[in-house]
Homo-oligomer: A and B are copies of this chain.
């Protein structure tokens, strides 16, 4: 998906919400898991059963939240934890999105980063075939040749980690060099030699508040993927105040706050409710543009 298409979707739907599809088997409502077991009675092996349980949860969440968001972000860890069944579930989830929601942007949250030769294989895994995502999150520690192989794909995106939402972000990302430049600022500055605002975004945690001002000085035009609203305590209002640009320039992610809003039979309805609440706040912010 191009930047122009993404911006169009955001303005048309009045939302820049990204829903994190991070299913945890233990947290999926029992009635849903049991329904899958009944449907598959005796047929499926364990991996297929797991895959179908994860998929049926994801499908319900997607169908319920699609009107209120422009993007979905499956985090690969939540699929890899279930082995082969998880891999199947990831593939089926992306296929389902591609088939029924072709205008939604798909971010494979993988935080990969390896030497060029290996990065090419990761790019193949995420960007080729029928289960191709629009974007992948990438860690910058290994530098240029760990990032550029992903940029060789047309209309695909690298979402580079800059300043993350977690406590550990202070360990290295905030370290100042001799000239007072912090590591995340160097990442923002230097990576602009590798790509541009048409094929790169940056992860900036919602918990970072006014740091968005500093970040916008370095990357005024790029989209920022913002996790940390909701369960991690970031403020949407603050993110918008300091981070929004004239194209919106933000994809704000919420995972647990939406997908696990309820563990009962109303889980999808509650997810829709939470997504709609965020969409309404986002609409108000967009109207100020």
Report how far A122 CA is from B111 CA in the complex, Å: 12
On whether A77 and B143 interact (CB within 8 A), knowing A84-B88, A183-B172, the answer reads no
For A87, list chain B residues within 8 Å (CB): 83-84, 87
On whether A122 and B81 interact (CB within 8 A), knowing A141-B141, A172-B143, the answer reads yes
For A166, list chain B residues within 8 Å (CB): 115-116, 142-143, 145-146
Say yes or no for A196: interface residue by CB 8 A criterion: no
On whether A142 and B169 interact (CB within 8 A), knowing A83-B87, A183-B175, the answer reads yes
On whether A143 and B121 interact (CB within 8 A), knowing A115-B164, A176-B178, the answer reads no
| Segment touching B, from A53-61, A124-132, A273-281 | A124-132
For A42, list chain B residues within 8 Å (CB): none
For A111, list chain B residues within 8 Å (CB): 112-114, 139, 142
Q: How many monomers of this chain does the complex have?
A: 2
For A173, list chain B residues within 8 Å (CB): 141-143
Contact of A145 among B83, B88, B168 (CB under 8 A): B168
For A114, list chain B residues within 8 Å (CB): 75, 77, 109, 111
Please name the residue on chain B nearest to A191 by beta carbon.
B171
A89 to chain B: closest CB distance in Å? 10
**By the criterion CB–CB under 8 Å, are A80 and B121 in contact?**
yes
On whether A115 and B165 interact (CB within 8 A), knowing A141-B172, A172-B143, A177-B177, the answer reads yes
Report how far A77 CA is from B125 CA in the complex, Å: 8
For A131, list chain B residues within 8 Å (CB): 83
Contact of A144 among B78, B81, B112, B167 (CB under 8 A): B167
Q: Which residues of A contact B (CB under 8 A)?
A: 22, 24, 75, 77-78, 80-84, 86-88, 91, 109, 111-116, 118-119, 121-122, 124-125, 129, 131, 139-147, 161, 164-173, 175-178, 183, 186-187, 190, 232
